[in-house]
Structure 1
């Protein structure tokens, strides 16, 4: 099953994370994202999930990476990560998120999924001179 997520970084190099309202990993922080629906591209899914979970709209800068991850509903999830630095709106938790916040690199909470952690590391290596 394919899924897409967004690594959104603001002008201060802070990362946007959402706190999961649902299982798996309920109560933990992760990147905004979710499953690709029939008839939409992974890019469309990433932007839809960003808007549903955070209230923000954005534009994809680049593909960060593609990986697989074990899932609880499906044996394997193909996860596609995108970097977003151009966005608008005010961040507010919605849909599957109970909270949303920006974190700097040194004060980020533990991130629920290894695949998300990997995308975050890649993103910071791209953005950090």
Structure 2
């Protein structure tokens, strides 16, 4: 992650200062620390007992050309569940209803430091998947023939769904390459 050099509020150069037990960027003009927080994102596991789990092949970095869950960043004034369904529609052309929260995971990011990912399960959906925004392909994969998954957080969400919907497949099989 790039280091912040200037205060985002007054443009004064930042100094490193021990504050609240941690070295942080600090603005001497504003007399305030500049907190660096994880960037919120979502991921959606669309599970269909007949066809498997919906994945998208990424058309953008990071991990361009690799398979992942539909998802993306939460926008300002947007709830995580709304962001998840928006990203699902943008990347796959389908709409859905969230069944349950799968959990919260993190991924390290060279750009953002840490990305905090909220995972959701969708089992009630409408439409036929087609690649959209940030995706070059969209397809369902049965658990036994899933490609490698780009992000550990996505693999963790998939593992939880495989345990629930596809019990004949072990978790280790979900991560095996084709």
4+ aligned runs moved over 2 Å, structure 1: 126-129
Aligned match of 2:126 in 83, 88, 96?
Answer: 88
Alpha-carbon distance in structure 2 between the residues aligned to 1:40 and 1:121: 27
Query: What is the deviation of 1:127?
Result: 2.2
**Richer in helix (by share):** 1
Aligned match of 1:22 in 60, 68, 72?
Answer: 60
Unpaired runs of at least 5, structure 2: 1-38, 168-178
Query: What is the deviation of 1:13?
Result: 5.3
Alpha-carbon distance in structure 2 between the residues aligned to 1:13 and 1:72: 35
Deviations 1:62-108 (A, max 9, x none): 00010111112211111000000000011110010000000000011
What's the C-alpha RMSD, in Å, of the aligned pairs? 1.0
Alpha-carbon distance in structure 2 between the residues aligned to 1:115 and 1:2: 13
TM-score with structure 1 setting the length: 0.96
Alpha-carbon distance in structure 2 between the residues aligned to 1:47 and 1:73: 24
Alpha-carbon distance in structure 1 between the residues aligned to 2:103 and 2:50: 23
